[in-house]
Amino acid sequence: MTKIAFQPAGDPMSEENLEKSLYSPVILSEVEALSGTQLARELALTYPGDMARVGGVKRGKRDEQLREWEKLERGDVVLFASGDEVFLSGTITHTIQSKELARELWSEDDKGVTPECIYFIDEMNKQRIPRETINRLCGHEPDMPWDSFTVESERASANVLYAFDLESQVYFPLVPEDEYKRIVQSFNPTEPVDASRRALMRKEEGFLRNQLFRGRAMAECAICGRTYPTQFLVAAHVKAWAECSTEDRLDFENVAIPLCKLGCLELYRRNYVTVIDERVAVTTAKVDSADLRAFLTRIKGRVCTWWRGSEAYFEWHTEHGSFY
């Protein structure tokens, strides 16, 4: 499950660094420490506009902040705090420990130390959340100070993420294939959804999104063919998730497709569209909306490039759709 991290940012040096790399995004192609690296290639997919926001943490005297930073995963949320409130939030996309990069981005302190524990963030938003409120939600004493960079446990983070709607729908933890398989094989769809099961479902969704989008910021909807930022696309099961067997869900290369939230997801779920013999087919039911009818007419007969390998799942959808 997603975690939250507290980043104290009220001292003059922190404020200066915020100005350099958060309020003003970094131009990635101009950063020499990234040139030619694998991270640079990954960042180019995530940030096609060549600009990203970057934060950093010092190791700490006994590496205590380094150990906290090492807990960060893609999708975790950083809360920037000053005084008695959080004033900014952002979602982790990548991390790297690099003194060279830190020196290029920020100044050293009077001891020659830089924030070498670096993270890249997206979905940055202004906030005004009292420290007391967050501490209570995390199960701490209301006046507990935020003196250093700290990553909360998944359990403590859950209430804060839910209360302020901070959990990303784009960036998920990077789950390896073997872990995904263990999740699928251990999951019982008939059990009630509690916090631990929700965490597993998020990991499953994150794995499928990473398979479909491969870190890209833009992708094409399987039904309408339009290209959108991936925040407007979901990893949708071709065959209804609740009806998928364990074997179906393990067939991750074929059981999920990208569908846009701007219409095709609901049209597919409500059986207004399906795919038959590689082409988009539309319902024969009466459609009262002229605009919806025009949209369905436009996409009808369009070639769906996701057909190959997914035929059996599309056939299930067509057969069980109430309009066909």
DSSP 247: H
Please check the confidence at residue 211 and state whether its pLDDT lies above 50: yes
Domains (ranges, CATH) in the chain? 4-163 (3.10.590), 182-320 (no CATH)
* SS3 assignment, position 268: helix
Computed on alpha carbons and rounded to an integer, the radius of gyration of the chain in Å comes to 23
Mean pLDDT throughout 129-154? 94
- Structure confidence by residue, pLDDT tens digits, 100-133: 999 999 988 888 899 999 999 999 999 999 999 9
Look up the pTM and report it: 0.81
Distance of CA 185 to the CA centre of its chain: 24
Please check the confidence at residue 324 and state whether its pLDDT lies above 60: no
- Structure confidence by residue, pLDDT tens digits, 170-197: 898 888 999 999 999 987 767 766 667 7
In the chain, the amino acid numbered 286 is K
Dump the DSSP string for 63-124: SHHHHHHTT--TT-EEEEEETTEEEEEEEEEEEEE-HHHHHHHS---TTS----EEEEEEEE
Question: What crossing angle do the helices spanning 177-186 and 195-213 adopt, rounded to 10°?
Answer: 140
Q: Where are the beta strands (DSSP E) in the chain?
A: 4-8, 26-27, 51-57, 77-82, 85-97, 117-130, 150-151, 218-220, 227-229, 233-237, 256-260, 273-276, 279-282
